Structure 1
Amino acid sequence: MSTQSQDIRSEVLQILQCFQLSEDKLKDISDALEKEFVRGLGKDTQEAASVKMLPTFIVDTPDGTEKGDFLALDVGGTNLRVHHVHVDKELTTESEEEKIPEEKMTGRGDDLFDFIVDKISAFIDSQKLKDQVLPLGFTFSFPCQQKAIDKSILIRWTKGFSCSGVDGKDVVQLLKEAVDRKQGFKMGPVSVVNDTAATLMSCIYRNKKCDIGLIVGTGTNACFMEDMRNVQCVDCEDGQMCINTEWGAFGEEGSLKDVQTDFDIEVDKKSNNPGVHIFEKMISGLYLGEIVRVVLVKLTEDELLFGGQISDKFRPSVLRVLKTPSQFKTEFISEIEEQDKGPENTVEILNKLGLDFSRDLGRDWVEENVKIIRWVCKTISTRAAHLCAAAVTTIAMRIYANRIYANRGEKSTADRNITVGVDGTVYKKHPNFKKELEAMVQQLAPELHITFQDSEDGSGTGAALTAAVVQRLQNKKAEHDKREERGNGGSTSL
């Protein structure tokens, strides 16, 4: 390796150093998140907390006795999914998926909900369910203040959505109004859930011991069953309730300023929601590609990337491409980091971007630049995994503390076992994210045994299972009320 190449690598590594977080720093982040959890659960502090710890009104999980047919609707990313789920000893699912047009994501709220209802109606027709009135599990994966299992108020849009007329409104009511406008079908009772809660419910159906629902995809979030004694904003102290942490907003209060790089700040400023969801913008698929892009621009401008003997010919065209927002997609990171085909994938991606990154430029020159690009991708994806690990550790330690409390201070080996159900493209499709996440969780919480379980279409089946659990609880309550009524009647006749 030439002295010039060594100097370039040294400068690149120095620039990337700001993304590398020590174990102590990650523990500090975990501690800061725990403080925000406590604020979010407090009656007098929730409003000011960045992490809202929103009650979901899910107070029970699948026990295996649920039966019936249910519809499920998943809205929370770039795709709309509709499912018909039959629940018995096993789950059977029929599904359809369609990309949500950008004009629906950014236009009028009524237009978005009309689009959704049109797709549900077409799906019901295709499944020959028109004559049935089925309960609906509605996964709506945006920050919402849930007032009941069938009432959820949108706090704000994220993930590229910005529809007018929806903020501060009940999304279930907006869905019902669209159904009334379209008059294409009759809708049964609605159970609205976040994608994290749906993931948790789906995983619990397959593994009764699942404790945390985690999403690392377009956005990131997590939920868990919290002791009601800690949930001050709900007037009940018995049992547990699933809490939607909305941890993507962590950092809005300033606790991540010392780890937020200049590159993160640039991405945040140019996003459609600057100043909010700071944690999510360091981890999720909507932003990782953009962070890589701005780093590549910096390296190119400093002539550490795409420089050298052909700088005058090549570098200006590279900058024109890289300075286009959203040009470098997060999926490219996964392809570039593939162990076997990463270098070839990198060249192919750059050629697709119009950079004519061919072997004609010189083998050594190509290999050196490919190596730098792979360093950038690995550094930024690893930081995302480590930040996620710090947050998972926060929840796991909280669950463990609740178990010790329930056992009156006694600790057991079984109480140390925590299972995390996970969904999302970043977790599932990135070649190294899962490994980096699991390894760092083990470092941060060596006293616990934390395992990860892949969710199988959690947002769809989990929403249907939530509706099934709600139906089971309602049926149980109706039977109890009937017995009470018969008992009171008999008593009066005497």
Structure 2
Amino acid sequence: VEQILAEFQLQEEDLKKVMRRMQEEMDRGLRLETHEEASVKMLPTYVRSTPEGSEVGDFLSLDLGGTNFRVMLVKVGEGEEGQWSVKTKHQMYSIPEDAMTGTAEMLFDYISECISDFLDKHQMKHKKLPLGFTFSFPVRHEDIDKGILLNWTKGFKASGAEGNNIVGLLRDAIKRRGDFEMDVVAMVNDTVATMISCYYEDRRCEVGMIVGTGCNACYMEEMQNVELVEGDEGRMCVNTEGGQGEEKRPPLWGSGWSGTKRPSRDALLSPPRSDSGDRKQIYNILSTLGLRPSATDCDIVRRACESVSTRAARMCSAGLAGVINRMRESRSEDVMRITVGVDGSVYKLHPSFKERFHASVRRLTPSCEITFIESEEGSGRGAALISAVACKKACMLGQ
């Protein structure tokens, strides 16, 4: 058993090779002539600004990244003590199988139905709210409110969506329904929304990361390095898109078991207490698979799960370390202080993933001082804050 599990172990030099490979592919993804062949796509998001703390208003946000879909009302403005605050109300909706695998029209009609239901419950159908859409699938942005779906992942197969503007499909569905109006001002993926949401807590947050069904990150890149977008001034948030869910997961990112559709497998790899969970717990999980394991079998399963989850944490750490070291080198900083906003079920729920991941990232980034923030309501709140920034910018340009 130990001989087999030894193949899962990653030495420090292995991680440094992954990190260097990550940085090479990031460079290829940013360059116009090599972008198409790069395994790390480095997709521009057109998010150039972060919240200043002076944005105000009511915003609606949508969060679609799996079988559950969330609608959120976000109130941005002055709080009780005179400080800038963000308050939220949300509701979860399940995406039916026929909407996931039918047509794009069916999927977005269902989404607009959920929005209508939410607005009814909060008596806000009379308002035309700015809307931010967190859409956690590979998208090629042409502007902050225009993104072309490259390919579905995570079990979604709705026809007529790939190659089309997702915001346009949403606007069409809202128009077909006709019982409310929305101003869709921004579309981002979950990593970007997480980064912006955590920026609200810590102004040094310039990296967003998701470790769940897949593993992916975004960060603020120097505009002079983003050849896919014109302009050299300032920075733009870039979605690395190095992990695209279960169908297409390049080797540079990956939480090791992301994308599984087998709950029992998830339970084994992420036991609720510890990797050394008692034999009874492991026995009960294996029993759901129709097995009758011995005590030795349970011990072997525990060791296997520990090996896989440790490997996953270290692989994710190598990818993130590649991003952070690149940022420091681009900015010519001897020591860079930076905050990383993180979300995702594996990061939040696995009992030992977080500790192993943090330790490995810090070993691989000796010239950086890294703070990790766990995102709360990141995808929804972040999309709303990006919408608030976009609305403020539009008002300033209109004056």
TM-score, L = length of structure 2: 0.94
Counterpart Cα distance in 1 of 2:280 and 2:369: 38
1:27 pairs with 2:22: no
RMSD of equivalent CA atoms? 1.9
Q: In 2, distance between residues paired with 1:452 and 1:199?
A: 12
Partner of 2:43: 54
**Equivalent position of 1:353 in the other structure:** 289
Residue-by-residue CA offset, 1:49-99 (whole Å, 9 max, x unaligned): 121111111110011111100000000112100000001121111100022
**TM-aligned CA deviation for residue 285 of structure 1:** 5.3
Q: Give, in whole Å, the separation in 1 of the partners of 2:233 and 2:194.
A: 24
- Is the 8 Å Cα contact of residues 60 and 131 (structure 2) preserved in structure 1? yes
Task: Look up the SS of the partner of 1:73 in the other structure.
Answer: strand
Distance 1:159 1:280, change over 3 A: farther
State yes or no: 1:456 paired with 2:376: yes
Structure 1 distance, partners of 2:257, 2:88, is 27
Partner of 2:81: none
C-alpha distance 393-122 of structure 1, shift in aligned 2 (>3 A): same
Q: Is the Cα–Cα contact under 8 Å of residues 220 and 280 in structure 1 kept in the other structure?
A: no
Opposite residue 344 of structure 1, the aligned amino acid is K
1:179-233 per-residue CA deviation (whole Å, 9 max, x = no partner) reads: 1111121111320001000000000011111121000011221000100010011
Per-residue deviation, 1:339:
5.5
Q: 1:149 aligns with which of 133, 144, 161?
A: 144
Q: Choose the corresponding residue for 2:179, options 184, 187, 194.
A: 184
Asked if the contact 1:336/1:374 (under 8 Å) is kept, the reply is no
Q: 1:53 to 1:282 in 2, by over 3 A?
A: closer
Q: Does the 8 A contact of 1:336 with 1:345 survive in 2?
A: no
* Map of 1:331 onto structure 2: 267
- Alpha-carbon distance in structure 2 between the residues aligned to 1:171 and 1:336: 37
Give the corresponding residue for 1:384.
Answer: 312
One-letter amino acid of the structure 2 residue matched with residue 277 of structure 1: R
Following the alignment from structure 2 to structure 1, what is the Cα–Cα distance between the partners of residues 173 and 278?
Answer: 47
Contact 1:385/1:433, CA 8 A, preserved across alignment: yes
- Displacement of 1:351 after TM fit? 2.6
Give the direction of change, closer, same or farther, for the CA distance of 1:164–1:129 in structure 2 (3 Å limit). same
Tell me the equivalent position of 1:428.
348
Give how far 1:327 is off.
Answer: 6.1
The C-alpha deviation readout for 1:375-416, integer Å capped at 9, x for no partner, is 111111111110110011011111111221xxxxxx454xx2
Q: Deviations over 1:129-161 (max 9, x none)?
A: 101000001000000000001100000011121
Does residue 16 of structure 2 align to residue 44 of structure 1? no
| Residue identity in the other structure for 2:327 | I
Shift of residue 110, structure 1, vs aligned partner:
1.2
1:216 matched to 2:228: no
Secondary structure in structure 2 of the residue aligned to 1:328: helix
Q: Is structure 2 residue 253 aligned with structure 1 residue 278?
A: no
- Alignment partner of 1:98 is 2:101: no
User: 2:255 corresponds to which letter in structure 1?
Assistant: I
Paired residues, what number? 393
Deviation at 1:282, TM superposition (A): 3.9
TM-aligned CA deviation for residue 449 of structure 1: 1.5
Shift of the 476–69 alpha-carbon distance from structure 1 to 2, 3 Å rule, reads same
Q: State whether structure 2 residue 116 is matched by structure 1 residue 121.
A: yes
Q: Which moved more, 1:394-403 or 1:337-346?
A: 337-346
Conserved in 1, the CA contact under 8 Å of 2:194 and 2:343?
yes
- Stretches of structure 2 lacking an aligned partner (at least 5 in a row): 78-83
Change (3 A) 1:281 1:399: closer
8 Å CA contact 1:113, 1:175 repeated in 2: yes
Counterpart Cα distance in 2 of 1:395 and 1:146:
21
Equivalences for 1:269-348 in 2 at 5 Å? Answer: 273=247, 276-279=248-251, 282-283=254-255, 286-287=258-259, 290=260, 326=262, 328-335=264-271, 338=274, 341-348=277-284
Match of 1:65 in 2: 54
Q: Any idea what SS the aligned residue of 2:186 has?
A: strand
Distance 2:129 2:215 in 1: 30
User: Quick one: structure 1 residues 331 and 120, their matched pair in 2 at CA, closer, same or farther if it must change by over 3 Å?
Assistant: farther
Q: Distance in 2 between matches of 1:49 and 1:396?
A: 19
Distance 2:231 2:132 in 1: 25
The CA distance in 1 between the partners of 2:115 and 2:258, in whole Å, is 26
SS of the residue 2:53 aligns to: coil
Q: Distance in 2 between matches of 1:458 and 1:113?
A: 23
User: Is the helix fraction higher in 1 or 2?
Assistant: 1
Distance 1:158 1:220 in 2: 13
SS in 1 for 2:100: helix
The structure carrying a bigger strand percent of its residues is 2
Shift of 1:20: 1.1
Q: Deviations over 1:327-351 (max 9, x none)?
A: 6331332117626744332122123
**Aligned partners of 1:377, 1:66: CA distance in 2, in Å?**
46
SS of 1:450's partner is strand
TM-score w.r.t. the length of structure 1 is: 0.76
Higher Rg = 1
Is 1:19–1:383's contact at 8 Å kept on the other side of the alignment?
yes
**Aligned with 1:163 (options 151, 158, 165):** 158
CA positional deviation for 1:281: 7.9
Secondary structure (helix, strand or coil) at the match of 1:65 reads coil
Deviation at 1:286, TM superposition (A): 3.4
* Secondary structure in 1 matching 2:383: helix
Q: 1:451 to 1:342 in 2, by over 3 A?
A: farther
The AA in structure 1 aligned to 2:390 is V
Change (3 A) 1:99 1:403: same
Distance 1:285 1:462 in 2: 27
2:361 aligned residue? 441
Aligned to 1:189, the other structure's residue is in SS state strand
Mapping 1:217-296, distance limit 5 Å:
217-248=212-243, 273=247, 276-279=248-251, 282-283=254-255, 286-287=258-259, 290=260
